[in-house]
Structure 1
Amino acid sequence: MTKKNAFLLPLILGLMLLLFNACGAGSNPPAIDNPGNNNEVGDTTPDDDVANGDDGAADAHDPTPDAADINDDSPLAINLASVTYYSRQWTFLDQTKQGGGFAYAATNGPTDQSGWVLSGDVGLFLNTGLDGHYSPGRYIVLYEGEAEFFTRTTIWDADGSPMPNDATLNETLCVPGRLVLDVSPSNNGFVLSYRAIHATDPVKNMKIVHEDYEDTFEQEIFHPQFIEKIKRFNTLRFMDLMRTNGSTQRDWVDRPLTTDALQGTAKGVALEYLVALANKASANPWFNIPHLATDDYVARFATLVRDQLDPGLKVYVEYSNEVWNGGFEQYNYARNQGEAAGLGTGRDAADRFYCRRSVEIFDIFETVFAETGRQGLVRVIASQNSPWWAKRMMGWVDPQTGRLAIEQADYWAVAPYFCGNPPLDPGSVTALLDICEASIDDTLGSAEEIGDAARVHGVELIAYEGGQHIRNDSASAGAQEIYNLANDDPRMGELYTTYLDKWRNDVDGQLFALFSLVSGQSIYGRWGLLKAQDDSDYPKFQAAMAFIDDNPRWW
């Protein structure tokens, strides 16, 4: 499934008449420590001498270690959204981390190795497209260095239309190293700008936090409402947080770091933060290894996870995401690699290379985990929710090793979405929901057939994604509104209950990772269980919580 972002990065270039409030240059405040304490982010430079030896861990992949997680009985996992300047998922307390760049209505000069701009001017855009669903009041800006900070009275949307800035710099409360923004949330978001960057003391280590969290954000790291919303889920799938689709990470030096200026870039979120999040939520992490990652990258990744993750948590490992999907760059890569290795052509080549590389990654994780006796590795192979393609993958014997990939895995995973390809003219909300209801048996029937085939090999079925798939980019504005209203309707919650009940009772499936926690609505989809992180009453979210209550983990 090709998922596009609902908003495009608005780069407003050229000369404009600007109205703004300004605050004078600053100097260094008291030192700001790296995140730590009760979320232990840990060392960003694990040892270099990571072994890639033969598999010596017969028990390393045991998916059921002893653990007493507070959400251990939950049968549901959740896919988390990317960190972006327009994300409705408030991941971090430090708003700066949500940023994707410094070039809003600005011309940046060069940056340092962490991404802080050294010259030119800067514009950091945050919280746009949220319909005002972020905290109002005062935001504190802590920083080191010197520059002239200001807020523009007018900012511009992606089409160049003017709109008010949600933030105003409170000049009377500014002191060097600590600024105050007065923020009145709307759908516009806010932009913090600065210029006249000091040549030898440029701005760096900037943190933007709501005043309620000024004294705690370095220890808490993650927004408490975010933690509250994910606490019932057994497992957190990090595919989008890792920016897996089309990732360019190959070598370990390519990875994002906790010291990066921003976490909302194409690199995704630093692994140390992902581990800290799993520890904080007491939830199993589900990692998607970049498709270009070398063996050394994989081994270092596994080492960091082994050394920093709570030993009571399981570790789900999947090679990339939807490598079968021709809409993603990872499919092209796998197809090319498979054809070069003589594994077939087209889709067969991609699927077979995917199976081979998955097993290689599993072997590396097993070896690394065996060095300390770390258990709980959960090896996942995923396919399209198509019995024909899934069985073809299951039956392929790698001529290089003589092994079936499925027999090196703990789970086979599919994405059994319902209500895909809705009609261009749905007629009414009721009619569309009737179509959605009728589609549940079809998609779960395919999943059931795949699960039966997997169990022949001693492997159970899980869902790496799933939920409603009401998306048709070509539909009219009127149809799009019906798509939106169908997701808002209480009956959609009832359909989720039916869908998940059938997953358990008819498919005999196990862990189900819903897609996704929170998102807005657009022609590109209505994926979230929530439309806003501060709204718990949305029908899909309520249905998921009720399913957890009524269905303690049955496997």
Structure 2
Amino acid sequence: MKVPLLLSFLALGLNFPSLCEAGCPSNCHYNGKCNVRQSTCHCYEGFTGSDCNTACGCNGRGTCLKDNTCKCDEGWIYSGGQCIWDCHCSNGIVIVLMVSDIFTSYSLTIVADTSCLKQCIWDCHCSNGAKCIGPGECGCSQPCKYGDCRNGQCQCWNGYKGVECSQYDPTIMTNNGIKMGMNLGGISYYSSELKFVDIAKQSQEWITQRDGQNSWDTKEHDIIQWTTDGYPASLPDGMRVAKLVYRNFGVHEENGQYAILWDGDGEVSIKLTKYKILSNQKGRMVVELNHLNKGGVLLVVGNINPKNPLRNLRMIAPGYEQIYNRFPFHPVFLENLRRYSELRFMDFYATNGHGPEPTTWSSRYTDTFHTQAGKQGGALEHMIDLSNRLGTNPWFCIPHAADDDYITKFATMVRDKLRPDLKIYVEYSNEVWNGIFRQTKYTREQGMALKLDSRDFKAGLKYYNKRSTEMILLWNKVFGSNAKDRVFGVWAWQTGYQDYYRQAIEDLGTRVQTFRNIAITGYFDCSRVADKHAKELPQMNMTQIQQYCKAELPKKEAEFKHYMDMAKAHGVELAMYEGGPGVMESSAIAHFGQANKATTEKAIAFNKDIHMEESVMDVLKLWNKVVVNDPATKHGGFFNYFSYTSTPSKYGSWGMLEYTGQDPKTVAKFRGVQRFLTSIYSTVPRGPRCSFIKNSAMAYGCYNTAGKFDCGMTDDNGRTWNNFNVPERSPGDTLVLDGYNKKKDLVYIRVTDNLGANTYHVYNLKSQQWTSSTNFLYYTELADRDILPPQSNSNYLGLDSHFNC
């Protein structure tokens, strides 16, 4: 295929004249792109004519043929002059479905009596009598109460079972009773934590660019009128907006075919990376990206139709186009979070320096905003959704400048949308004692304005006590009689200065009873070895460094006991809001980034070394001994590790993982935490005890017999089974059947070891050959429309008669 000239310009990242300057007929009716040299239109697939004003009915879901009909994409049919999902009424009348986005925006054209709409049957050939929910994909016969539908089968959230995912059973949860939480990383275009399958959710804020100017950002945001979801309602002639994604993720990114989708009229292109356009339709472009680098990808938007402006721009990771709205979180991101009973959303919500001030409900980012990065933080809807899926208690950090209306509406949404079995931990901002954060200055300003004290640091302390108490009372009011069982207020102050902590809690006085937990940090820096021995550290071996970690343990135990006694004295429980290894030069944070390169490199190396595995376990065991095992600890006691994923630097090796997709078995910190969890919570399952898939007369499954897992197939409804010989497994491993491809005859089996780490295998039933897979590729293939997922827990159709399910 001859590559249009426009593609050459985009691939090189060059400027080009606007369509208005080029003078294309009727601006191509926004149904194509203008050839800037010839002033002629290159129509999107499915449109024809010199001005692209003639549509052959593909709707962005097919290719226009010479006879002006369409060859529709897989899962779509050509009917009534359009590419549609296969929808017919029982009286034979056709309903044409016009789709701008197949999961969020529908427009029905009724070719006959509108009463047909009530009788419409979505013809996906569903054996369960359900309607289709995507091209060629059957829905579920009953609504999934606590789960999501996938190819006719409810996929239950962690802890729920039954055909409709309506039965709660904590014993099947992979985090049941575990006293270990996790701090999630922030959302940014350069983050190494890939949270969403829609990559655009982690994009940069818009920059502005002009034709004929070489400036990266002309900073003309103020002259643009923006929609409530953060898209330009129109653009001046010659201006474009752009934003980066995937910056610095480099070799960890997924190569393959990305679907770039949008609603409305506008022109979308990409820059900064090599690519190949595989499909160029209106509202949908499929590009092959096989040479991603650290520079990232630049999404560029221009030539917007002010009458129908471009919006809802998405960039879907390879394979997830059909399911991204039902399963928005990347499965590789999810898989190593399943053992934690609590998630702290401090960085996810951009708590440090959260804006604007004051923070009102109307100023927040919703889940439809053009990005989830920025000072407003990720949407509350996403935090609730993630907690629901994983069955993790959310820990919310309310913005420091949030007004009462914001707090009340925040709590109301949580009450209405969070699953009923979860507890809610609520904290006012984060570390308001810490002078490096805006919230500290804010609380001091507010405290001084209210004349709470003549000294600004004491005024800030008193304002923190005042506002955090008011916040919890507002939450309790929203939850009413359920607040006692569900709302757990958290109060926290500076751990390292015990007398300062004492002063703060004394000022709180009887208000301490408003809270259920007081919280501290649990960092260990190995006796400040990187500070006190910065010059010697590069020459030390790992065993020598670990001795400093061992020497610190008595001090950590005394600290934990001190705060545990304080909690009991005030009738509250102790929790940890952040903890983990902190071996780095503190001057990197405290003094404008000053650090010694050789010291930094050795500190990073120690954080990766096998000795760190034992050091992590040592501190976790101390916390468990002093806090978790104390009879006074019932609802508190979480050790909140900081943090899930981040790139090591002179500012610290805070991430348990360095990047999403890293093999956790190779990470010392991960092994230390997981070994601890396995040793303390040995009876908590690491996956389902059984997983089955029924396909007509055949069925496939992984099952537990006498504590041992096997996988196999049956053609007689489970009376006899032919076992597979699953590779790379050890005694005690959990085997999970994740899917069956009904067209390719492939079975997908995941092996989870005693640390919760996975290996991935695909079995070809025709050739009887096994293939090992990578985590990204495995889940990409599982997103295919032809995948049948496992039955929900307890809905085994009698296939479990021989097994301990």
TM-score, with normalisation over the residues of structure 1? 0.83
Q: Which residue of 2 aligns with 1:298?
A: 407
**Pair 1:533 & 2:660 matched:** yes
Aligned with residue 639 of structure 2, among 502, 508, 512: 512
Q: Which residue of 2 aligns with 1:55?
A: none
Q: Which residue of 1 aligns with 2:476?
A: 366
* 1:65-117 deviation line (CA, Å, top 9, x unaligned): 99665413211100001111111111111111111212283556443221113
After TM superposition, list the pairs within 5 Å mapping 1:91-490 onto structure 2.
Answer: 91-103=195-207, 105-107=216-218, 109-117=224-232, 118-119=234-235, 120-152=239-271, 155=272, 165=273, 167-168=274-275, 170-184=276-290, 185-249=292-356, 250-344=359-453, 345-370=455-480, 375-385=485-495, 386-397=497-508, 403-419=509-525, 422-423=530-531, 424-425=534-535, 426-427=537-538, 428=540, 430=542, 431-472=544-585, 473=588, 474-490=594-610
C-alpha change, 1:320 and 1:337, in structure 2 (3 Å) is same
Q: Which residue of 2 aligns with 1:498?
A: 618
Secondary structure of the corresponding residue to residue 211 of structure 1: coil
Is the CA contact 2:254–2:318 (under 8 Å) kept in the aligned structure 1?
Answer: no
The letter of the residue matching 2:231 is: W
Is the CA contact 1:306–1:369 (under 8 Å) kept in the aligned structure 2?
Answer: yes
C-alpha change, 1:312 and 1:75, in structure 2 (3 Å) is same
* 1:17-55 deviation line (CA, Å, top 9, x unaligned): 8459999476985233459997999xxxxxxxxxxxxxx
C-alpha change, 1:212 and 1:374, in structure 2 (3 Å) is farther
The letter of the residue matching 2:493 is: S
1:372 CA displacement: 6.6
C-alpha change, 1:132 and 1:303, in structure 2 (3 Å) is same
C-alpha change, 1:342 and 1:194, in structure 2 (3 Å) is closer
Is the CA contact 2:521–2:577 (under 8 Å) kept in the aligned structure 1?
Answer: yes
1:187 CA displacement: 2.8
Is the CA contact 1:67–1:312 (under 8 Å) kept in the aligned structure 2?
Answer: no
**Which structure would you say has the larger RCO, counting Cα contacts within 8 Å and 6 or more residues apart?**
1
**Pair 1:31 & 2:138 matched:** no
Q: Which has the larger radius of gyration?
A: 2
The letter of the residue matching 2:672 is: A
What is the aligned-residue RMSD (CA, Å)? 3.0
* 1:254-273 deviation line (CA, Å, top 9, x unaligned): 11112211111221111111
The letter of the residue matching 2:530 is: P
C-alpha change, 1:346 and 1:551, in structure 2 (3 Å) is farther
Is the CA contact 1:39–1:277 (under 8 Å) kept in the aligned structure 2?
Answer: no
The letter of the residue matching 2:563 is: I
Secondary structure of the corresponding residue to residue 396 of structure 1: helix
| Separation in 1, partners of 2:307, 2:404 | 40
1:477 CA displacement: 2.1
Secondary structure of the corresponding residue to residue 171 of structure 1: strand
Q: Hey, which of these two has a bigger chunk of strand by percent?
A: 2
C-alpha change, 1:136 and 1:172, in structure 2 (3 Å) is closer
| Separation in 2, partners of 1:553, 1:301 | 37
The letter of the residue matching 1:229 is: N
1:375 CA displacement: 3.3
| Separation in 1, partners of 2:440, 2:335 | 36
Secondary structure of the corresponding residue to residue 598 of structure 2: helix
Q: Which runs of 5+ in 2 are unaligned?
A: 1-11, 18-31, 34-42, 48-58, 61-98, 106-132, 134-142, 148-167, 209-215, 589-593, 630-636, 684-805
Q: Which residue of 1 aligns with 2:177?
A: 73
| Separation in 1, partners of 2:550, 2:225 | 54
Q: Which runs of 5+ in 1 are unaligned?
A: 1-16, 42-64, 156-164, 398-402
TM-score, with normalisation over the residues of structure 2? 0.58
| Separation in 1, partners of 2:259, 2:557 | 49
Which range is displaced more, 103-112 or 251-260?
103-112
C-alpha change, 1:495 and 1:242, in structure 2 (3 Å) is same
| Separation in 2, partners of 1:462, 1:553 | 22
Give the paired residue count. Answer: 499
Is the CA contact 1:284–1:314 (under 8 Å) kept in the aligned structure 2?
Answer: yes
Is the CA contact 1:417–1:443 (under 8 Å) kept in the aligned structure 2?
Answer: no
Identity %: 29
Is the CA contact 1:256–1:268 (under 8 Å) kept in the aligned structure 2?
Answer: yes
